[in-house]
Chain A
Amino acid sequence: MADSQKFIDAYFDDNFTDQQFAEFVAWISENPVNMAEFVRASYMHSSMRDLLQYDDIRGLMGETLEDGSEKELLVDTQYILSMLEEDEKIAQRKAEEQARIEILAAKKFSTSRHQRNRPRRPKPAPVSQNVFYATACSLVAAIVFIFWMLPAPVPVPMVVASIEDSIDARWSDPSLSTEPGTQLSTLENLVLAKGIVQIELEGGAKIVVEAPATLELLSADSARLEWGKLVGRVPRSEVQLTIQTPQATIVDLGTEFGVEVNRQQVTHLHVFEGRVAVATFDAKGRTTQQRTVLVDEAVYLQPKTGAIEPAPAASPFMSPFMRRLLFPLPIYSTGVGLAEGDDDPHWQIVAAQNMPNFVPQPAIVATPAPTYLPNDSRRSQWLSLSPKCGSGGGLYVPHHV
């Protein structure tokens, strides 16, 4: 580390990015010398707090002597005098206030006596009690009716996000576009009927929503997923993202995570990077459980009970979540001139379902299954692992090289 002390100071002032903090932790854990340097700096830091606080208290007690010599720790006489003067002023202000109140009270008394001494008004004409009550009740009823008829304050939708990109997407509301740049507001029930949209919230976070899904944008950094699937991502540590589901709140802590709410309202949360804090609620909205979910960890959040249960974390290749908007690759025939059974140098098989120790292997030209169209090497090429790469029953992920 170039300037370790600078990093230590940045730690104490919490002036770090997430990456810098990770580097810092790695540095102090690297060897005992670094750790000792950090501990000594911590001791200095702690002592500075104590010494400066001590000096601050001393400052109240008296002036520092000009020659800097140690003086007796006594309450300074000037300070006592100023406190006494202040007390005197407070007492004086109180006395003045009291005198003012008394004058006002005397004036009021004099006015009321004057009023009492004036000739009395003629006695008002008697009004029947029943008429009086009826009038009063009518007035109250009229006021209640007017207030009841007044419209309740209407919440105003606010633009808090826009569509960054989409693939083959359609909202159930035909008036709402999925074109990039489309602005999205709060108070809209966004039902994605088809495809995938990538939304950028004004707070800086991004969410990839996969149809079918229903969500609502709550603010520039939060959304509610009623059901369906989304991936949330925050590009920088200062950006925040909160996803609410019917029974949980998920808060990113500088991370990327996938959330799925199924029809039974079970939430599946999978953290791809960083970590997230999750809290679940019962039917009355009380917090039932809360915990931090770490990278590569997955949990189920059960409705009603709010239990947070471990879930199997899917392999990155087989993740049920669409983490990025992947556009179809333009595929060109790369097998021109190759015969069946030859390696195709343009393609590799990089992963296979249920084969965690799979080693990337070249794709080979294979015989097409009879259900597919005939292989025309000028226009297309069948790629397969079989028969060189063993069982052909899995799902393979080809990767263009």
Chain B
Amino acid sequence: MKHDNDSIDPAASRVELNVLWTKAHPVVLAFIRSTIRDFHRGEDVMQEVAATAAEKFDQYDRERPFPPWVLGIARNKVLAYLRKHASDRHVFDGETVGKIATVCVDIEGELPDMRKALEVCMKQVKGRARKILEMRYVRNQNPATISHATGMSANAVSVMLHRVRKALRECVHRQLSSMPMPVDTPQGGD
């Protein structure tokens, strides 16, 4: 049942939106980044989602969970973006985007633990592997650009990225299955 949203104090509504948005933010961003690979473009779309969520927050039915509602907005924004950039290489069609959004809602509950585990595991990645991760994830560089900067071949960069990610996935998996046991070190360093 929908609440009478008109009766809600605007200041309280803003606080409520802030709380809900902060909780849903990681899964929405993950959804957008799963469909728009370029981090900067994805973050632009995220801004649009935030603006629309704030604008339409009075239409949100408080009886229902917030993540599916905001993921619906994100799905529409992503589809609009993909339509506009239809000539980009390797983009998902609308049906696949819809399925991804649905699964994001389904597994949203397990994501915070995964984040905590990843945070712990990331601290163990050092040396060259860390540098390459930073180039990929902070500087938004692709393997070809990283290869120019490091003198490695693009293939070697891709292989190294895959190995580090694999090690991190395994580390997260171990973390999640044996919480609160100590964490092993992923084999990503020099």
Contact = CB atoms under 8 A, between A and B. Distances in A.
Contact of B103 (A35, A44, A48, A291): A35
B115 interface: yes
Task: Sort A-B residue pairs by CB-CB distance and give the 10 closest, nearest first.
Answer: A42-B34, A46-B30, A277-B87, A43-B30, A292-B86, A21-B90, A52-B137, A46-B33, A39-B103, A49-B137
A50 interface: yes
Interface stretch (B4-12, B58-66, B162-170): B162-170
Given A40-B107, A44-B114, A45-B33, A14 B138 contact: no
Nearest to B111: A43
Given A5-B169, A11-B90, A39 B122 contact: no
Given A5-B166, A44-B168, A56-B138, A251 B87 contact: yes
Given A36-B107, A47-B26, A29 B118 contact: no
Contacts of B123: 68
Interface residues of B, number: 45
Contacts of B166: 5
13 contacts: A11-B37, A13-B143, A28-B96, A28-B100, A32-B103, A39-B30, A42-B30, A42-B34, A45-B34, A45-B165, A46-B33, A53-B138, A237-B89
Contacts of A6: 162
Contacts of A29: 95-96, 99
Secondary structure at the B interface, as helix, strand, loop or mixed, is: helix
Nearest to A10: B158
Nearest to B122: A51
Most buried by B among A25, A46, A53, A56: A46
Interface string A275-292: 001000000000000011
Interface in B125-150: 133-134, 136-138, 142-143
Contacts of B168: 44, 48
Contacts of B31: 39, 42
A307 B39 CA distance: 35
